[in-house]
Amino acid sequence: MNNAASPSENSPSLARPGELISVIRPAMATEFEVLMPADVDREAPEIALEALEWIRTLEGIFSVYRSDSDISKLNREAADGPVRVDPHLFKIVQQAIAISEATAGAFDITAGPLVDAWGFTNRSGRKPSDDELAAALQAVGYKNLELDAEEQTIRFKQPGMRINLGAIGKGYALDQAVAMLVTSGVENFLIHGGQSSIVARGSRRPGEPGWPIALSHPIRPQRKLGRVWLQNESLSTSGSGKQFFHYRGQRLGHMIDPRTGWPGGDLLSLTLIAKVAAESDALATGLFVDGMQKATQFVEANPGLGIVGVAEVDRSSEVEVVAVAIADERWEPFQQSSRDLD
């Protein structure tokens, strides 16, 4: 995610017994997968395939790595005047701005210049000069996005701006795919994009409270920290467990706070549960840079959300795991240092 984790980083792993059907397609620089019980209707796998193909269509609209995509055209032209965009691009930008407002700017789809300035775009982290940081901050700010709902246009009010949907695009695409599956009558399934963005509907098996998701250690992914049951919800994980460098004794990760221009947060990873994936993706990013205390306050003030924060202990491989607003019967910590907050 940008300001975000890469698709494979800090990912939950999916418990999958042998009786599941899997449908997989590549998109958005990762693999999207639908898992369904083997006793689903015969048409369900084909419906899942159509849903995943639709995600690939959305990639053609949202990808900044395709010069012919709608978002690339927008980034080239919107500083010169309003640009009419695809309805899905307009809608996702609207959603992103709403979450920016809700998080007081901790989430911001215009933060790309800051990620560049810190060298994280090409995975060579470095501290930028004061002038470089100031120039990048000039080009960042969701409040400089001007939307016209009637004309379906977007304009950049500041030169040098650009949009990157890496921290919300997978979630939006998953929500679209979920809607297709549900509308077609598929009731029990799990769909994910690179395992860092997950939506679960119904249950894995009759009598189970949803789908079990194992959360991994941010730095040592072979270690599982706990398991959460997900049902009719989404789960997203953001973190900086792998992309970071040390500066004057301080660990600086690639999750940039768009308000200050500096790497934010006091966690290795943050997993967030919400009702829809676009929201869980974006909030996981914004609340990560806000830190655990503010993330806890946000979740407690917004019913229907839950988080699991993973913090480093004394620059060692040991971590503290804190679950907030997740019912005891849904969250099972696997290590003694875990603790739960209601």
Binding residues for Mg(2+), by number, are 167, 281, 285
For Cα atoms 217, 108, 14, give the angle at the middle one, nearest 5 degrees.
30
Helix (H, G, I), strand (E, B) or coil at 232: coil
| Count of CA atoms in the C-beta half-sphere (13 A) of 254 | 26
Closest CA to 96 of 218, 200, 3, 194: 3
Q: Residue 126 and residue 272: Cα distance in Å, rounded?
A: 29
Q: End-to-end distance of the chain based on CA atoms, in angstroms?
A: 28
Say how many C-beta atoms besides its own lie within 10 A of residue 42's C-beta: 6
| Count of CA atoms in the C-beta half-sphere (13 A) of 87 | 1
Q: Residue 168 and residue 176: Cα distance in Å, rounded?
A: 13
Binding-site residues sit at 167, 281, 285
